[in-house]
Amino acid sequence: MFKQNKILPNALYIQSGGMTSVINNTAYTIIQTVKKYPEKINKLYAGIYGIVGVLEDNLIDTSTLTEQELEGIKNSPGGVFGTSRYKIKSLNDDLPLYKKLVNILKKYNIHYIFYNGGNDSADTALKLSKISSTFNYKLCCIAVPKTIDNDIACTDVSPGFGSSAKYIATSLYEASIDLKSMCKTSTKVFIMEIMGRHAGWLTAASAVWKEKDSDPPHICLLPEILFNQKKFLKMVSKYVNKYGYCSIAVSEGLKNENNIFLSNKKMSDSFGHVQLGGVALILSEMVQNELGYKCHYSIPDYLQRAGKHLCSKLDIEIANAVGKAAVEFAIQDKNNVMPCIKTIQNKPYKYQIEPISLNQIANVERKLPNDFIDEENLTITTKCKEYITPFISGEIYPKYDKNGKPFYISFT
């Protein structure tokens, strides 16, 4: 692609959207994989605070990072280079922005972009991939998957999901044991509010170890199923009467029978997504007012995606795998694709990585299929549990200093 110029191109890495506990593993792998192709790529830059930082000409040359800093990257949660939620318009709607971006790319001789994000980020990567034809500037743009929501189309799992699923399943399991020990004379109901706007993968993960009716959580409220207050209260009462307590997992995106979010805060982000949060409080007040049970609730919020201390081993493995594949696809000039994980078998779990066009992925949400949901009993099916189980298996713990503090770093 660039042999005739005898000037090696550079690459750019961008973190985008909400974070996961393993996105930095992908970043680390991309950095290290680029080094393996010195005849193809000269340097890899990273945008500070994502695409916003790139537009502000705020880049870091990753070749200057020390070995200790590189080790710190894969050991850390959050996004070490910073992220942003910034929706860029199409080329036709904001040509000046793209001209500015192209000038920055030319300044640093960047001809490869690795855009690490979810559904909305895939849309941004798709828009950036069109720079090549519009400006006659050779550019290969690869979207790299990550999201705790597990809702990216065309991939059988999203890096970031497994670790958050492990955190949620473990936390609710532990809280339920605590609740059970107190329920005789105190709290009867515990509710955990879990991230998931339209897809309930994380909430479903809370029930991955449920084998019998008495196992927690007793109720899973998924965004794929509209909320029925009468049925919900009847089931809460049934479990309290039968087992002395009731443990509940609920998606933040739960909707009522009119298909309206129960916790709509009437605020939106730059992508037009309504800000959610507080459905656990709404349900808690409902339980206390209608049934008279003492109820506690928890909103893990960022905790469920930042828990580096409880990462899934397989999740880190696939985060590394998509990073490696992204670089390999780029040097093969596979513009406008995302490395997607395709399951070969579930026990033991095996997979392969395939390049899928961003036209099939951008702005498409992957929800729980019907055969993963037990709507009658407000829980998940055995098939769903079998799907989730491999992704929460195994542990890789972060490194700690002599004082017991995790060794985390950030470049922002």
Give the helix ranges, DSSP H, for 23-64: 23-35, 50-55
Q: Is 115:121 a contact under the CB 8 Å cutoff? A: yes
E strand or H helix that includes residue 343 = strand 337-345
Please say if 156 is a catalytic residue.
no
Active site residue: 61, 93, 94, 149, which one? 149
3-state helix, strand, coil in the chain (%, to 5): 40, 20, 40
The residues near 411 (Cβ < 8 Å, ≥ 6 apart) are: 46, 48, 60, 80, 81, 82
Q: Count CB atoms within 10 A of the CB of residue 291.
A: 16
Q: What sign has the CA pseudo-torsion 405, 408, 409, 412?
A: negative
CA 178 to centroid of chain Cα atoms: 28
**Which residue from 15, 333, 354, 373 is spatially nearest to 154, judged by alpha carbons?**
354
**What is the largest distance, in Å, between two alpha-carbon atoms of the chain?**
79
Which whole-number Å values give the CA distances from 157 to 148, 187, 296, 324, in the listed order? 10, 36, 32, 17
| CA–CA gap between residue 112 and residue 105 (Å, rounded) | 9
Give the helix ranges, DSSP H, for 95-184: 95-107, 119-128, 131-135, 161-182
What positions carry a catalytic annotation? 149
